[in-house]
Amino acid sequence: MSGFFAVEHLELSFGGVHAIRDLSFSVEQGEVFAIIGPNGAGKTSVFNVITRVFDPSAGRVVFQGNDITAVARHQVVNHGIARTFQNIELFEGATVLQNLLLGRHRFPHGNILAQLCWLPNVRRAEEESRARVEDVIELLDLAPYRNALVAGLPYGVRKVVELARALATQPKLLLLDEPASGLNPEEARDLAFWIDDIKHDLGITVIMVEHDMSLVAEAADRVLCMNMGEAIATGSAAEVRAHPDVLAAYLGT
Amino acid sequence: MRFHYDTTYRDAQRLIRYRADWLAYGALFLLLLAAPWILPRYYVGEVSFIFIMCIASLGLMVLTGFTGQISFGHAAFLAIGAYAHVWFISHDVPFVISIIAASALSGAVGLMIGLPAIRVSGLHLAMVTLAFSIILEQVIGRWKSVTGGYTGVPVPSPSILGIDLGGLRPFYFLCLAILLIVFVALINLTRGSIGRALVGVRDSETAAHALGIWVGGTKVLAFVISASVTGVAGALMAHHVQHVTPEGFSLLLSLELVMMVVIGGLGSLRGAILGAIFISLLPTFISKLKPMLPAAVSGQFGLEIFVFGLVLALFILFEPMGLNGRWLKLKALFQSFPLYRRDTFRRGKTYMKSERYR
Ligand SMILES: Nc1ncnc2c1ncn2[C@@H]1O[C@H](COP(=O)(O)OP(=O)(O)OP(=O)(O)O)[C@@H](O)[C@H]1O
Ligand SMILES: [Mg+2]
């Protein structure tokens, strides 16, 4: 079982709490894959294991044929995996532009001496980064906020900035943790279009954790439902929604 | 009103973009060049000292303002820079090489002090730096063969290529030149990817990891840069005082440096300079004010410390963005007149502080 991306027999526990139990799934290139489940099901924990925030107690994560279960936490992005956070982790004291440029951190910008002297290679790298960031700003309509401090932005815009920052890393796989939570219906609709663009125009594979079933139904090719750390159903949105175990999990029986 | 018009991304990189700014900075530069002939002799030395404090304050700003790591022992790096430099030039090392070596040594010690920062932060880290400076003072006091112990060591006059720079005016220009070099280098650093990483580590370690920033390494790097720059200031300070003793690098000096960066405005190099000027001038200002105060007040012991504390408290309460924040507001007022709104700088509500995994 190894294609584009796969999680194999993953286990994660915090003391007595089993956040993930024997979880396996795989995602094909170009797919939008949604993970749903009631609160505390372990969805965010899956992302945290993939991005090396937590060490799994068993199992492995394979991306493009490489076992990335034990890479350094700051190396994950170099494999082409970017993520957003359920509770928005932006750099509050910096502008939108600086936040997005930080998304480009993994690309070379010259060594420290070159940066101190602002040598031509640094200048070129900064120009290149700026140009790539502007592409993302245009894609996500962030131009009005380019030079605004994040600390003063409304919630909906912050969500978009965080998505933009993840895109600025030029990922192959994008992990979105509840991208639509807290958005108004109009913003949620924009998001659905953007996810479509990200998939079709940028060719980025997406795994998203989402509670909004209308967005999941619209955007996701396949859906995995988790409960108590386990996978209980996989399939199309309609199939998963009709699955008896899923209904039981949401009704708490 | 003024808008940014950039036709290329290279335009956006220019440090000084508008003609008005060119004129303002040009005038300031000419004034600094003429100052040694305008000012009374005593003040020329004072201004040189302010330049030195600006360098030290810039050094601490990298650490505290950009990565958010607090140091209560930064005078220790001034001491290392000073003693190392004195030792080198007393052993016939040329001035320029000596100051670079002193800075490198200070940076190397900064590396060692920075290593605990990977694990501890905030108040605990502040305690580490405090303990370090206390221990260092003892070491300097005991290591008589190198430091001269508590009696101190005399400092040879600075000279480059046989030209003596110990006079008031030459030393003024030496300090000004080094300040400008340090300032421009740090501007470059903070606008590049390393500078962004420093801010990233300060604002969200979680996100920093996810974007490929090596968080531990970046924190230590901030210590190294900060200590190296402060070491340069220490070397110049040795020449300024002409006789270095351990008491010259007391805890009070460390606290003054912290006040400079806080009052100047955390996260801004301009703030570091404004803060250094303000705090360095405060004692002079207080002594000028003293005769005007009733004897019961002016005779009080510790008046100076009291005023320092009061100023710090007032800034934290009323202008948390420091002198730099004040500056930006005034500038915005003039540029957008008459459209300035009071709320331009009001911080938005902070939404949801996240649970931090660290
Ligand atoms: N850092 C942690 N320490 C201890 N327990 C944790 C930690 N993070 C998560 N958990 C526990 O692991 C379980 C799964 O949490 P997780 O955040 O993955 O759920 P989720 O599916 O994302 O829920 P939600 O929909 O509320 O975001 C929960 O029981 C939670 O309490
Ligand atoms: Mg979650």
Q: Does the distance separating the beta carbons of B212 and A169 come in below 8 Å?
A: yes
* CB contact at 8 A, A102 and A91: yes
Q: Chain B: residue nearest A74 by CA?
A: B212
Q: Give the other-Cβ count within 10 Å of B160's Cβ.
A: 12
Question: What is the rounded distance in angstroms from the CA atom of residue B81 to the CA atom of residue B249?
Answer: 11
Lowest mean pLDDT among A79-93, A164-178, B164-178, B318-332: B318-332
pTM for the whole structure: 0.90
Q: Give the other-Cβ count within 10 Å of B62's Cβ.
A: 28
| Total domains in the fold of chain B | 1
* Nearest residue, CB atoms, A115 vs list B194, B214, B355: B194
Encode pLDDT of A76-96 as tens digits: 999 999 999 999 999 998 999
- Give the closest residue to A16 by CA, choosing from A57, A60, A47, A44: A57
Check whether B351 has a pLDDT greater than 60: no
Encode pLDDT of A200-236 as tens digits: 999 999 999 999 888 999 999 999 999 999 999 999 9
Question: What is the rounded distance in angstroms from the CA atom of residue B74 to the CA atom of residue B106?
Answer: 11
Query: Angle, to 10 degrees, between the axis of helix B303-318 and the axis of helix B269-289?
Result: 140
Give the closest-approach CA distance of A242 to chain B in angstroms: 34
Q: Across-strand partners of A26?
A: A6
Record the tokens describing residue B189, joined without a space.
């650093």
Residue B261 backbone phi and psi in degrees, to 5: -75, -35
φ/ψ bin of B272: left (φ > 0), alpha (ψ from -120 to 50), beta (otherwise): alpha
Check whether A1 has a pLDDT greater than 60: no
Q: Does the distance separating the beta carbons of A118 and B192 come in below 8 Å?
A: yes
Encode pLDDT of B27-84 as tens digits: 999 999 988 999 888 889 999 999 999 999 999 999 999 999 999 999 999 999 999 9
Binned at pLDDT 50, 70 and 90, residue A249 comes out as: confident
Position B54 in a domain: yes
Q: Does the distance separating the beta carbons of A90 and B207 come in below 8 Å?
A: yes
pLDDT reported for residue B19: 78
Chain B neighbors of A161, CB-CB under 8 A: none
Check whether A198 has a pLDDT greater than 50: yes
pLDDT reported for residue B89: 93
As for ligand 1, residues whose beta carbon falls within 6 Å of it are A 14, 17, 19, 37, 39-45, 86
Burial A168-197 (b: 16+ CB within 10 A, else e): bbbbbbbbbbbbbbebeeebbebbbebbee
Residues 129-168 of A with CB under 8 A from B: 129-131, 134, 147, 151-155, 158, 165
Binned at pLDDT 50, 70 and 90, residue B343 comes out as: low
Between the alpha carbon of residue B308 and those of residues A53, B61, B266, B271, B345, the distances in Å are: 43, 19, 18, 17, 27
B161 touches chain A (CB under 8 A): no
Q: Does the distance separating the beta carbons of B196 and A94 come in below 8 Å?
A: yes
Check whether B2 has a pLDDT greater than 60: no
Query: Chains A, B: CB contacts under 8 A, how many?
Result: 138
pLDDT reported for residue B316: 80
Structural domain of residue B220, as residue ranges?
Answer: 31-250
Question: What is the rounded distance in angstroms from the CA atom of residue A40 to the CA atom of residue A149?
Answer: 33
The rounded Cα A101 to chain-centroid distance in angstroms is 18
Question: What is the rounded distance in angstroms from the CA atom of residue B315 to the CA atom of residue B319?
Answer: 5
Lowest mean pLDDT among A201-210, B208-217, B274-283, B331-340: B331-340
Q: In this predicted model, which residue has the larger pLDDT, A31 or B356? A: A31
3-state secondary structure at position A226: strand
Record the tokens describing residue B160, joined without a space.
């480059």
